[in-house]
Structure 1
Amino acid sequence: MAIEIERKFLVTGDAWRQGPGTLFRQGYLNRDKQRTVRVRIAGEQAFLTIKGATQGATRAEFEYPVPLDDAVQLLALCDGPMVEKIRRVVQHEGFAWEVDEFLGHNAGLVVAEIELAAEDQVFARPAWVGLEVTEDARYYNSSLATHPYCDWR
C-alpha cells in the first residue's frame, strides 16, 4: 500500500518565495474522510488521487497520472468549488518543503508541507515555518473547498 506521511505548518514572512511556482487547480469527486478522491491539474500535468483516512500524520495515498483533457472534464464533475494555489518547492537542510499560497476564497492562507519517512523523523524547520496544523482538519484542501479561509474570520 502507498503511504503518505505529511506534516503541515502555517507560514510566516516571505523568505520562502524562491523562484517561480506552479499553478494547481483541484477539485473533489468525493470528500468522505475515509476515501477522498481528488482531481488535480498542476501546470500541464494532471492526476487522480485517492486518499484514505488520516491517522496522525499518516494515510494511504494512491496517485495516478491522467490525460489533461480528462482532468478538465473531471473537474467539472467535482463536488463543491475548486481549490487553486501556487506551489513552490523550497529545499531546506535535505528536505523539500512544498509551500502552497492559496488563491481565490482561500487567499491569504499559506501552508508548508513536508513529507517524511516516519512520523517521528527529525527535521530542521526553516525560520519561516510557524504553527503546526497537521491535525487541524480546517487546513485540509478538501475542507478548504467547502469551508474557505475567507469565511473563518
Structure 2
Amino acid sequence: MAPKRKVDEKATKPSSPRNTRSSSSRSAPPIQPEVSPPAKKTKKSLKGKANDKPIESGERAPEVAAETVVSEKSSSKTVIVEACKQCQQFKKRATMVKDGLEKGVPGINVLVNPEKPRRGCFEIREADGQTFVSLLNMPRPFTRMRELDMDALISDIIEKVK
C-alpha cells in the first residue's frame, strides 16, 4: 500500500482564535528599537567653560586626575581570594581576609572569586602570581582551613605585601 500524501496543514486547518507568544513572534517581523545618532557638540556649546583655562604651577590639579592616580597605584597591589561556594565557612574567611587587608594596607585591591572557584579550594594569592595560602581539594569538614589562625595569616600577608 502506498503511503498517504502529506497535506499542507496551514491550508486545511482553520486558524485558531488563540494568539500565543510563539505564534505572534512567528508571524510578525522582529521589532527594531529606534537608535538616534549621538548629538554633535558645536563650538558654541564648548565656549565659556571654566575647565578650559590651563593649570598654573601654584594651582591644584582637578580631582579626576587624583582618582586616576589612586586607581593606578591600587592596580599594582591586587590580592585574589579564591573561596569555594560549597560552605559558608569559606565565605566567612574570605570576608575576614578582605576586610583585614583593606584595613591593614591602604590602596590595596582585594578581589573575592573574580572567576568561578574550584571545589574545596581556599587560596590567597597576588595577581602577579605569588601565593600566600593554597588549600586545594579539601574534603569535608575542611579541617585544614578551620585550623588556620586567620589573624596571624592576615598579618603575615600584610607584611609580605608591604
Verify same fold: TM over 0.5: no
Q: Which has the higher strand share?
A: 1
| Interval of TM-score (by shorter of Structure 1 and Structure 2) | under 0.3
Higher Rg of the two aligned structures = 2
Name the TM-score, length of structure 1 as normaliser: 0.26
| Larger RCO: 1 or 2 (CA < 8 Å, sep 6+) | 1
Name the TM-score, length of structure 2 as normaliser: 0.24
Q: Which has the higher helix share?
A: 2
